[in-house]
Amino acid sequence: MSDPIPVCDYEGSDYRARFWQNQGRDYEDRAERVALRRLMPPGGDTLLDIGAGFGRLAGEYSGYRRVVLFDYSRSLLREARERWGDDPRFLYVAGNWYNLPFVDGLFETLVQVRTLHHAADPPALFDELARVARADAAYVLEFASKHNVKAMLRYWLRRQTWSPFDPEPVEFVALNYDFHPDWIRAQLVAAGFAPGDMLTVSHFRLGPLKSLAPTGLLVALDSAAQRTGRWWQLSPSVFVRSRLVRPQSPPGGGFFACPTCHLSLGEPRDGLLVCANPACGRRWRVEDGLYDFKEPV
């Protein structure tokens, strides 16, 4: 039996306070929202936010009937629920993105921002996302690009050993990866997605510049520069919109599925979702609005 793919776990972390709240990242947040709005269909039926964390971007999904905020961290999802309340459109689901607890062909739109850099096996993740996506679904992906100007300068000055021109991913610290845009496109194609528009984002991610220039000005300049992603990708953050083109059967009914055997699960009873497969029989907890598929009961 092969070893399980490692997963980065933010359980119990102060990620929101340490990284976003009053941390000088308003420019990055606003620039990413500009890119997301350009690429994401404005509305629809079902949307899956992969690695939603504390729900930073959930306010962008107002046009969708049902939104799943999915993350490996229960504690971050509880923060998201506290933030967005009991809005019936939102479902808070904890689990492993390599074994998603959803039926095949469920989601009309997939969004993944600032999380792929923790993926040890993007091809496996893309395959799983293709499984739960509807035919012709939109997948808006942001990834940390190794093919950026800062990395090139550091490489030429011999201040880093890895090449930004090598297509293979680089793990610069444990479970933190940068990717080459060409490699990402190739893996998306292999999983059945057709990559389309690309946008370059966070061109001005420099501390001294952010402290000197008004945030609104930097966001406006970044918005104008994002379109250059059609021709070249030289920024540390890249967005790409893809479309699922591989053959996909119509959804067979249901919503949640056992992440182990993919059998559709019914409604929760006594706070549990139970797999009806006799060979599996795993049980998953539903508690305080959180669907917990991280570990079986």
Averaged in consecutive runs of 10 residues, what is the pLDDT profile of the chain (297 residues)?
Answer: 87 95 95 98 98 98 98 98 92 98 97 98 98 97 98 97 98 97 98 98 95 97 97 97 92 90 92 95 96 96
Residue 252: per-residue pLDDT: 75
Residue 136: per-residue pLDDT: 96
Residue 46: per-residue pLDDT: 98
Residue 2: per-residue pLDDT: 66
d(CA 288, CA 20): 26
Long-range contacts (CB closer than 8 Å, 24 or more residues apart) made by 203-210: 203/235, 204/27, 205/27, 205/28, 205/236, 205/237, 207/24, 210/24, 210/27
Residue 260: per-residue pLDDT: 93
Beta strands in 179-287 (DSSP E): 193-201, 237-244, 272-274, 283-287
Residue 146: per-residue pLDDT: 98
> Whole-model pTM?
0.97
Tell how strand 170-173 and strand 64-71 pair up: unpaired
Number of residues that this document lists for the chain: 297
| Span 30-49, pLDDT tens digits | 999 999 999 999 999 999 99
Nearest 5°: phi and psi at 132? -90, 0
Residue 251: per-residue pLDDT: 74
d(CA 65, CA 26): 28
Average pLDDT for the chain: 96
Q: What residues contact residue 196 under an 8 Å CB cut-off, 6+ apart?
A: 240, 241, 242, 243
H-run or E-run covering 127: helix 122-132
